[in-house]
Amino acid sequence: MNRKTYLAPQFRKLLLIGTGGTGSYLAPGLAKLVAGYRLKLEVLLVDPDVVEEKNCARQNFHSWEIGQAKAEAIAFRLNQQYGVDFGFVQGKGEDHFGHYLDRSRLIVSCVDTIAARKPCKEQGPWLDLGNGQETGQAIYGTTVDKKLLAGELERWDTSPHVGHLPSPYKVAGMGRLRSSKRQTSCADTPFAEQGIFANEWAANAGLAIIHQLLIKGELTTPAIYFDTGKGRMVSGFITKDLLSH
């Protein structure tokens, strides 16, 4: 067996951290999934910021939402459009990790810095989205525990499925990266420095993984990498190399 499948738990809650550049595009797709498939999924949107005029060009906000909390503006709009019941909080994602401390909770992070991602790495199922000027990725994983991953490798030839996947923190090598203390927000970044469609592509890659987890109940591509300049998305499969991170 060169590739395997991850059997997803039945998620009851989804915590979306960050509703700015990427999160504001991912949230509508998530609402469409929840409404279209009538999913029993409790969704909480979390973001510390408010909508500013500069957000209306790069991010998925409207001029009449300026001054509102980002999470509130997105939740209100989607609840009205799709008939869902998304909750919202103006704050930090890690302050709300206490909801469902088990595998029934999925964390989705759409944040700018390594520091903002670090609290997610030991929280169980986690999907992280990120991008640069033209390239980016969506990566799903469940653990940083080397023993659990070693156990999956030991059972590699006995089952077509795995129960654990390496955390995005490990797969993306975030421990080797350093965040700038004063990193420029994507809203302040010229399109020449961060492509105009990079956020939407990141959101679409993330939604492709979420669809597998929530609708199909199994995952074959826990990582999706994209390049907007070349018009390409590439899937990362469940292999021995992936589990060896």
The percentage of the chain sitting over the pLDDT mark of 70, rounded to a whole number, equals 90
DSSP E strand boundaries for the chain: 5-7, 13-17, 42-46, 87-89, 105-109, 126-131, 135-141, 161-162, 218-219, 223-227, 232-236
Cα–Cα distance between 8 and 231 in angstroms, integer? 29
Domain 5-243 CATH superfamily: NAD(P)-binding Rossmann-like Domain (3.40.50.720)
Contacts of 100 (CB under 8 A, 6+ apart): 12, 13
The per-residue pLDDT for range 48-97, each reduced to its tens digit, is: 999 999 999 889 999 999 999 999 999 999 999 999 999 999 998 887 77
Percent pLDDT > 90 in the chain is 78
CA distance 24 to 73: 10
Residue 178's pLDDT is: 64
Instruction: Grade residue 196 by pLDDT with cuts at 50, 70 and 90.
Output: confident
Structure-model confidence comparison of residues 207 and 183, the more confident one: 207
Residue 141: strand pairing partners: 126
What global pTM score does this model have?
0.92
d(CA 132, CA 138): 12
Give domain limits for the chain.
Answer: 5-243
CA distance 99 to 245: 28
Q: Which carries the bigger pLDDT value, residue 9 or residue 186?
A: 9
Which two tokens mark 184? 């420029």
The answer, yes or no, to whether residue 162 has pLDDT greater than 90, is yes
Check residue 156 and report its DSSP letter: T
